[in-house]
Structure 1
């Protein structure tokens, strides 16, 4: 079976991303056969990012649907201007603290709460776990609900900034990983 469009790691492989192809029989390669597509779609998830044009083999699928050890999923509600147009599940992003507060405008507390200060990302190379695009059935909103898969030690600062609407995400080019 051939992958016809990119599928992010951790996501099910939809039938629309599969195509039947003929390959030479080889007992050394565990190709996922076209007859196994329903099982591949319903029981398994992509163990790694699947790229368009690749042949699907068994090791590219996993029945583990949980969040990897040491990672957490953090939800953000981003407003227009806080995310790049076309952001989608599987993209790699960095997140920065944004807003109008500056260290000069608020009193010094002496605390070390400087995580995500100007120019310092709250998280780098995070995977977009999910993006919920508005549909015609929902009330129009400029907010974009986004979930990021991040390292556990980055979650607190990211969640705090997100709660205050002070997060912007930037798309990281695929070759910058």
Structure 2
């Protein structure tokens, strides 16, 4: 009897396990897809590799030469005007490396270089002096004969000022001539001749600034780069103090 009861109980449990519960159907066993799993792993590895390369490139830096002061066009780069900076390495940019600074003595600036510039090869040239057809003229300007904020690298025009027109008209009044000179010094051009332009598109090369001052007072020594065809008339006017500079455009420093 006990054996039959045990057999009946076992059969009931088996039937209870096999019978579906409620409306749910038995689920099919999951199909494994090893190809998709391998692809997912490969994508993860590629992403990690790419991130590693970016980090390594960001940390790849070189020591280059930067300027600490302006260097006019055609001038050598002095040792006192350079410092070392770290920049991101770039095969497309030919930086002048810090270990190459000794070679700067063989080159000159191909254009006006401003403070903070990181030197690259195209900024330097072995050609000495000015560009063909250019000359440097020195001027000594009084207050009123130059813009208050004149800077090296600015583009200017040079005008004749003074009493040429008055003297050519036969005016012999000494006091009147003196007044015309004062007006010319102020840059008003009241006595300027009709062909007053002496040099157009000149570039300010150097300015002798006063130590410790932000502005200028008294005579201001200025050198300008002009076309050779303008040199004779400009120097003649400069010797008589009849030159006034007008600012055309700033250097953008």
On whether the aligned pair clears a TM of 0.5, the verdict is: yes
Corresponding position: 1:80 with 2:143: yes
Counterpart in the other structure of 1:112: none
Structure 2 unpaired stretches of 5+: 1-63, 171-191
What RMSD in Å do the two structures reach over aligned CA positions?
3.0
Q: Which has the higher contact order (CA 8 A, sep 6+)?
A: 1
Counterpart in the other structure of 2:246: 170
What pairs with 1:1-177 in structure 2 (closer than 5 Å)?
1=64, 2-3=66-67, 6-14=70-78, 15-26=80-91, 28-40=92-104, 42-51=105-114, 54-102=117-165, 105-107=167-169, 117-118=193-194, 120-134=196-210, 142-174=218-250
**Higher Cα Rg: structure 1 or 2?**
2
Structure 1 Cα separation of the partners of residues 158 and 219 of structure 2: 16
Structure 1 Cα separation of the partners of residues 250 and 206 of structure 2: 18
Change (3 A) 1:87 1:66: same
- 1:7 and 1:49 in contact (8 A); partners too: yes
Structure 1 unpaired stretches of 5+: 109-115
Select the structure that is richer in helix. Answer: 2
Structure 1 Cα separation of the partners of residues 84 and 196 of structure 2: 43
